[in-house]
């Protein structure tokens, strides 16, 4: 029997395998002989040692190295798995690898496990082995993918998705990103994304995402393993019934009224407002009422829940980029300040959810059950999703199961919508001609009423604004997967056809796909009307193009209408179940806010933002950073006034 080790143990032991390399003096190898000079060698250093004076800059530019080494360092074509297996016994000691290297991989603990099962230590160790051999041993890469070269600060300063975009322009898709014992295969092509998310989805799972989200969401829908996800989805999805969404549209308007009152008061005082914070507050209030039937009241007073959610997401992103899971070490939770803060935030969120679940179970309304079954939400006293889950599952529903489901909705639900609203207002303020069109439509269709579902159907341009905002600022900008069974990646629009080996973690960069000129003409331009025009690219025959007819009858474009070149909510079987909820909520909120108020950028907050060694001088450079979703760096500061209506 092959020994198994927990995922946390996998990364801890993997770090030990690279420690010898990292601790050796410049120009020498911990394995004995000096490593063969290779342009990619520095890319294996961890972020924690990047600043060491004894070590070169992480991922130093390859131009100098290639000039010194010559053309013999060019990457060889990827060998097949069969070739590697046959030639494994014939591998000789490299200048950078020791005589005992091959013996280590014969140990029982290092053996790979069965394809299609959950990956274990041996699978992750095999990925680490291929990286070390490619970098230090002059062996051809098993995956056939180029290694990115640069400075880890490009992706470790809160704008990782921007750094991945720059590397994509240099290396194509897929390419490999290594730091410490950890590596990711980065995909930036819709054909390849379709392969992972839909066509071969059974060969992938959430991998490292499930590991880092486990303390936050447990086995909720986002991080759940395939078996758990199937059970969860059957239980939760019926709650997002069309009739429930229709009823929620009115509730969205009700929850926006405190926001309107708050903004109205600001118009009478300072005339200055930070709208990202306001949108986060109203989004939390909407989630509170629609999912829990609870009034957070965060628009009227500061809610600790918002800060706790954001800090939890920042910690999750930090863990995804950290070479070894130091948080699993004994006493780490007591000694490390950021872990103490994380656990405190998590305790707050769990206490809130436990209280809401207890309250819902103790106040079951028997009369509502029949109306819930009939989907007649107009008669239901409490139409919240929590009420549906409790009443339809029974009073003995497991609290842990409910907690995992609801934590996922609390975090993912309000974060996504708040981000969409923030960037929609940002882009409309930068493009006043589009703002005029949106307002004309809102005035004509809705006026001073709270929007209804029928109104939303009539507000096509406003819906396109939401869709275009999600294209430019996908929430989240990255999806994470892990390969369970080796398979060959299609080329799509790339020159590279990589092999994904079992145990490899992957980033699917939605940001790169959405910003690619190959699939979206004038991709950086804010152009809501692009979704009314078909587009195809004959240079990418495997991509079926974008066809607006394919989302006819739906309110918003889908991944299928763009053949996975548009993935704001993912795609395939694991697509977000709350996509309609989020887009409807954003549309209603935009309509109510833009109908009543004028916005201009607060020029007193105007600063230059330095991205990737280039100073971008935008009209209002708010900057970008991530905490699972794309946030501004310093808030969306606006001058606000009441709109003059005829």
pLDDT at 399: 77
Average pLDDT over residues 610-639: 68
Give, to the nearest 10 degrees, the angle between helix 7-23 and helix 121-136. Answer: 20
Which of 176-185, 192-201, 288-297 has the highest mean predicted lDDT (pLDDT)? 192-201
pLDDT at 621: 63
pLDDT at 276: 94
- Stated pTM of the model: 0.82
Which of 28-42, 533-547, 572-586, 596-610 has the highest mean predicted lDDT (pLDDT)? 533-547
pLDDT at 367: 67
Average pLDDT over residues 429-444: 97
Q: Band of the pLDDT at 39, cuts 50, 70, 90? A: very low
Higher-scoring residue by pLDDT: 48, 554: 554
pLDDT at 287 over 50: yes
Higher-scoring residue by pLDDT: 291, 391: 291
pLDDT tens for 116-139 read 888 988 999 999 888 888 877 777
Query: Order of strands across the sheet with 204-205?
Result: 175-179, 182-187, 505-509, 478-483, 204-205
The CA-based dihedral angle spanning residues 186, 191, 193, 196, taken in that order and rounded to the nearest 10 degrees: -110
pLDDT at 198: 96
pLDDT at 96: 66
Helix (H) or strand (E) holding 488: strand 487-488
Helix (H) or strand (E) holding 596: helix 579-596
178 labeled binding residue? no
Give, to the nearest 10 degrees, the angle between helix 275-292 and helix 242-267. Answer: 140
Q: How many residues does the chain have?
A: 646
pLDDT tens for 401-431 read 788 888 888 888 888 899 999 999 999 999 9
pLDDT at 155: 63
Phi, psi of 140 (to 5 degrees): -65, 145
pLDDT at 374: 67
Average pLDDT over residues 623-639: 85
Long-range contacts of 368-374 (CB under 8 A, 24+ apart): none
Which of 210-214, 443-447, 572-576 has the highest mean predicted lDDT (pLDDT)? 443-447
pLDDT at 281: 92
pLDDT at 300 over 50: yes
Average pLDDT over residues 192-212: 92
pLDDT at 584: 96
Using CA atoms, how far residue 462 sits from 223, 426, 583, 586, in Å, is 32, 14, 11, 10
pLDDT at 209 over 80: yes
DSSP state of 600: E
User: Position of tokens 């926001």?
Assistant: 259
pLDDT at 642 over 60: yes
pLDDT tens for 141-166 read 778 888 887 666 656 655 778 888 88
pLDDT at 11 over 90: no
pLDDT at 646: 67
Higher-scoring residue by pLDDT: 138, 292: 292
Q: Band of the pLDDT at 266, cuts 50, 70, 90? A: very high
Please choose, from the candidates 554, 557, 563, the residue with its C-alpha nearest in 3D space to the C-alpha of residue 528.
557
DSSP track, 300-365? TS--HHHHHHHHHHHHHHHHHT-SS-GGGSTTHHHH-HHHHHHHHHHHHHHHHHHHHHHHHHHT--
CATH of 231-642, one of 2.60.40.10, 1.10.630.10, 3.40.50.1370, 1.10.540.10: 1.10.630.10
Q: Band of the pLDDT at 598, cuts 50, 70, 90? A: very high
pLDDT at 486: 94
pLDDT tens for 357-366 read 888 887 776 6
C-alpha–C-alpha distance, residues 514 and 518, integer Å: 10
Q: What is the CA radius of gyration of the chain?
A: 26
pLDDT at 564: 97
Give, to the nearest 10 degrees, the angle between helix 242-267 and helix 579-596. Answer: 30
**Residue-range domain boundaries for the chain:** 1-142, 231-642
C-alpha–C-alpha distance, residues 337 and 314, integer Å: 14
pLDDT at 328 over 60: yes
pLDDT at 509 over 80: yes
Q: pLDDT over 70 for what percent of the chain? A: 78
Angle 106-109-111 from CA coordinates, rounded to 5°: 60
ω before 476 within 30° of 0 (cis)? Answer: yes
Q: Band of the pLDDT at 210, cuts 50, 70, 90? A: confident
How far does CA 631 lie from the centroid of its chain?
Answer: 12
Q: Band of the pLDDT at 498, cuts 50, 70, 90? A: confident
pLDDT at 87: 40
Average pLDDT of the chain to the nearest whole number? 80
Is 289 within 8 Å of 383 (Cβ atoms)? no
C-alpha–C-alpha distance, residues 310 and 631, integer Å: 10
Average pLDDT over residues 47-51: 35
| Share in percent of the chain as helix, strand, coil (round to 5) | 50, 10, 40
Q: Band of the pLDDT at 619, cuts 50, 70, 90? A: very low
pLDDT at 38: 33
Q: Band of the pLDDT at 81, cuts 50, 70, 90? A: very low
pLDDT at 609: 44
379: which residues sit within 8 A by CB, 6+ positions away?
A: 371
Q: Band of the pLDDT at 51, cuts 50, 70, 90? A: very low
471: which residues sit within 8 A by CB, 6+ positions away?
A: 514, 520, 566, 568
- What pairing do the DSSP bridges indicate for beta strands 597-601 and 637-642? antiparallel
pLDDT at 61 over 90: no
Span of 112-116, 198-202, 232-236, 546-550 with lowest mean pLDDT = 232-236
C-alpha–C-alpha distance, residues 131 and 584, integer Å: 45
Strand partners, 29: 32
Phi, psi of 632 (to 5 degrees): -75, 165
pLDDT at 71 over 70: no
pLDDT at 80: 43
């Amino acid at each position: 029997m092959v020994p198994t080790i927990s995922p946390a143990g996998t990364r801890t032991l993997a770090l030990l395998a690279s420690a010898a390399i990292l601790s050796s003096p410049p120009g020498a190898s911990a394995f004995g002989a000096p490593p063969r000079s290779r342009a990619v060698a520095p890319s294996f250093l961890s972020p924690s040692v990047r600043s060491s004076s004894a070590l070169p800059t992480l991922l130093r530019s390859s131009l100098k190295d290639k000039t010194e080494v010559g053309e013999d360092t060019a990457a060889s074509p990827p060998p097949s798995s069969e070739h590697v297996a046959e030639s494994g016994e014939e591998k000789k000691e490299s200048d950078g690898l020791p005589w005992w290297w091959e013996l280590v991989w014969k140990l029982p603990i290092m053996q790979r496990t069965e394809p299609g099962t959950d990956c274990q230590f041996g699978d992750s160790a095999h990925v680490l082995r291929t990286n070390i051999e490619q970098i230090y041993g002059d062996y051809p890469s098993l995956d056939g993918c180029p290694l990115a070269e640069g400075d880890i600060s490009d992706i470790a300063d809160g704008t990782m998705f921007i750094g991945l975009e720059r590397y994509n322009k240099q290396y194509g898709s897929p390419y490999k990103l290594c730091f410490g014992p950890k590596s990711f295969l980065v995909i930036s092509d819709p054909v390849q994304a379709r392969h992972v998310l839909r066509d071969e989805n059974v060969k992938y799972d959430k991998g490292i995402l499930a590991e880092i989200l486990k303390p936050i969401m447990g086995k909720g829908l986002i991080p759940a393993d395939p078996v758990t996800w199937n059970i969860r989805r059957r239980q939760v999805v019926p709650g997002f019934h069309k009739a429930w969404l229709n009823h929620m549209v009115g509730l969205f308007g009700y929850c926006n009224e405190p926001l309107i009152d708050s903004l109205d008061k600001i118009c009478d005082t300072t005339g200055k407002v930070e709208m990202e914070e306001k949108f986060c507050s109203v989004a939390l209030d909407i989630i509170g009422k629609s999912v829990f039937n609870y009034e957070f009241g965060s628009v009227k007073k500061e809610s600790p829940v918002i800060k706790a959610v954001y800090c939890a997401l920042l910690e999750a992103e930090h863990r995804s980029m950290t070479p070894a899971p130091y948080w699993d070490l004994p006493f780490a939770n007591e000694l490390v300040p950021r872990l103490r803060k994380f656990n405190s935030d998590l305790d707050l969120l769990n206490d809130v959810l436990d209280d809401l679940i207890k309250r819902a179970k103790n106040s079951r309304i028997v009369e509502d059950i029949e109306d819930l079954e009939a989907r007649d939400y107009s008669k239901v006293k409490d139409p919240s999703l929590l009420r549906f889950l409790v009443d339809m599952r029974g009073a003995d529903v497991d609290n842990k199961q409910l907690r995992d489901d609801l934590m996922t909705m609390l975090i993912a639900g309000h974060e996504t919508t708040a981000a969409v609203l923030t960037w929609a207002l940002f882009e409309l303020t930068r493009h006043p001609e589009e703002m005029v069109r949106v307002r004309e439509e809102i005035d004509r269709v809705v006026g001073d009423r709270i929007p209804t579902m029928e109104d939303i159907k009539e507000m096509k341009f406003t819906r396109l604004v939401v869709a275009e905002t999600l294209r430019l600022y996908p929430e989240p900008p990255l999806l994470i997967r892990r390969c369970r069974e080796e398979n060959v990646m299609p080329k799509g629009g790339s020159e590279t056809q990589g092999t994904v080996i079992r145990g490899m973690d992957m980033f699917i960069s939605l940001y790169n796909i959405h910003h690619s000129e190959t699939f979206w003409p004038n991709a950086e331009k804010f152009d809501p009307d692009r979704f009314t025009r078909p587009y195809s690219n004959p240079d990418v025959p495997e991509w079926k193009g974008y066809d607006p007819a394919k989302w006819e009858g739906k309110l918003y474009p889908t991944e299928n209408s763009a053949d996975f070149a548009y993935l704001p909510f993912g795609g395939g079987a694991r697509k977000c179940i709350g996509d309609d909820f989020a887009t409807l909520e954003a549309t209603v909120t935009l309509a109510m806010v833009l109908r009543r108020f004028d916005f201009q950028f607060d020029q007193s907050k105007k600063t230059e933002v330095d991205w990737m060694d280039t100073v971008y001088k935008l009209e209002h450079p708010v900057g970008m950073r991530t905490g699972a979703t794309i946030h501004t760096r310093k808030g969306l500061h606006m001058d606000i006034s009441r709109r003059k209506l005829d």
